[in-house]
Amino acid sequence: MRRNRIIYYILCIAAIVLASLYGGPITYSILFGLLLITPVSFAYLLTVYAFFKLYQVVQSKHISVYEPVPYYFILQNEYLLNFCHIRTDMYTTFSYIEKMPVNKEYELLPYESARYDTRLICRYRGDYKVGIKDITITDYLRLFKITYHVPEPLGVVVAPRIIKLTSLRIENDPARNSFMENPRLSQDFDAAVRDYVPGDPVKGIHQKLSARAGKLKSRLTYGEEKQGIAIFLDTDRISIDEYKFIPVENKCLEIVLALANYFAAFSITTTMKYYRSGASDGSSPEKGKQIRLEELKCRGLDEMERFLGETSTVQFRDNGDSWQAARMISKDPVFRNCLVAFLVVTGTCAQLNETLNELSMSGVHCVIYYVGYEPDTSEILPLQNQTVIPVHPEDDLQKVM
């Protein structure tokens, strides 16, 4: 197009020079003919813009990551003029179209339509636009073009996928020996008790030992919860730019689902906790709102579908409340009594390091998955019974985890 436009401008200048020097009907006819090309081209572009129609359909608006779904679009000429040089531009950051020709231009005869059937594949979890973003219309001589922005683009809701892991790259993998006794039980004088933590059941308090020790003691059991896995999901949004936060949030949920699915195969209960802001109750004067931990459980493979559906609805918010949630999990019985605690975070803070230190002193082995484009793991306090794994949004979890 640039070359054609340069040639056109050169011809116009040459015609003006010839008309100025020599005059005559032929020279002026050439000049006026060249000058008329511009308004005629713009008139053509406006005609196409007004009478051109686009129809696009995706089979389902609720899909999963990398799940191919049927998709088609129709380009329709509803005028008696031939339309040429019509090119579609797709949304390609979060999704792509299978076997879509690159820079293909369509030509439509009067009242003719062109249909293209293919499949749509989404790369990330989230709610975003897919399909055709805009259409570029060029005139016959390729001198000028206008862009037709699709007024109602297709929107889809994409659920995260479950990545199946065969093993975890950590030293203390409970799945390798799911019946191993919790090593923390031998730390107290009475191996069946520990210090009382707010939230423990009252009926579990050891009355005699509490009176003897002068402080509350809770009985420990070897039930399902004591052999369980705890996961904390940091739901702070890292940016207001969807091109940055969607891939990161997608990877965080993929990690959670991969862990839950891995331990579900061994019938090890997974408890995932995340935070969200509640109504103001005056308990948090800093921001005037209450922070509470929400809980999701998965006890086996038969519950993975439900767990996937619930995890898909988790919302990330740009509210900066991660530090409050980090302090809460250090006192949570689920994390203090689990075999291994997994923390999926998108940032670090002093409160997170304090929590990790408290869990470490309680004998909890922590695995931190730090998800980000350039995660700096040096900001996380190094501890003896702790593993820190940086994860890029485009990493293959089967290799990283």
- Residue 221: is it exposed, middle or buried by C-beta count within 10 angstroms (0-12/13-18/19+)? exposed
- pLDDT tens per residue, range 356-385: 888 888 888 899 999 999 988 888 888 888
Average pLDDT of the segment spanning 381-390: 88
Task: Reply yes or no on whether the pLDDT at 222 is more than 50.
Answer: no
Q: So what's the pLDDT on residue 286?
A: 45
> For 123-191, where are the E strands, in sequence order?
126-130, 132-138, 145-149, 154-159
With CA atoms as reference, report the closest residue to 224 among 331, 334, 332: 334
How far apart are the C-alpha atoms of 296 and 106, rounded to whole Å? 50
Structure-token pair, residue 173: 């993998």
Task: Reply yes or no on whether the pLDDT at 175 is more than 70.
Answer: no
Per the prediction, the chain carries an average pLDDT of: 84
Domain 174-182+222-400 class, CATH top level: alpha beta
Res. 250 pLDDT band, cuts 50 70 90: very high
Average pLDDT of the segment spanning 61-85: 92
Q: So what's the pLDDT on residue 176?
A: 63
Structure-token pair, residue 302: 């038969």
- pLDDT tens per residue, range 93-110: 999 999 888 888 999 999
Res. 349 pLDDT band, cuts 50 70 90: confident
Q: So what's the pLDDT on residue 290?
A: 65
Match domain 1-159 to its CATH number in 2.60.40.10, 2.170.190.11, 3.90.1170.40, 2.40.128.20: 2.60.40.10
**Where is average pLDDT lowest: 85-94, 228-237, 377-386?**
377-386
Q: So what's the pLDDT on residue 351?
A: 82
Reading phi first (left if > 0) and then psi (alpha if -120 to 50, else beta), residue 244 is in alpha
Res. 185 pLDDT band, cuts 50 70 90: very low
Q: So what's the pLDDT on residue 180?
A: 44
The domains of the chain are located at 1-159, 174-182+222-400
Task: Reply yes or no on whether the pLDDT at 136 is more than 90.
Answer: yes
Q: Which residue has the higher pLDDT, 171 or 73?
A: 73
How far apart are the C-alpha atoms of 377 and 369, rounded to whole Å? 10
Task: Reply yes or no on whether the pLDDT at 224 is more than 70.
Answer: no
Task: Tell me how far the alpha carbon of residue 269 is from its chain's centroid.
Answer: 26
Q: So what's the pLDDT on residue 278?
A: 53
- pLDDT tens per residue, range 9-64: 888 888 888 888 887 888 888 888 888 998 999 999 999 988 989 999 999 999 99
Q: Which residue has the higher pLDDT, 15 or 271?
A: 271
Q: So what's the pLDDT on residue 182?
A: 45
Task: Tell me how far the alpha carbon of residue 21 is from its chain's centroid.
Answer: 66
Q: Are 333 and 295 in contact (CB under 8 A)?
A: no
Which pairs count as long-range contacts for 23-30, CB under 8 Å and 24+ apart, including other chains? none
Q: DSSP H helical segments within 182-241, as ranges? A: 207-213
Cβ atoms within 10 Å, residue 292: 13
- pLDDT tens per residue, range 338-348: 889 999 999 88
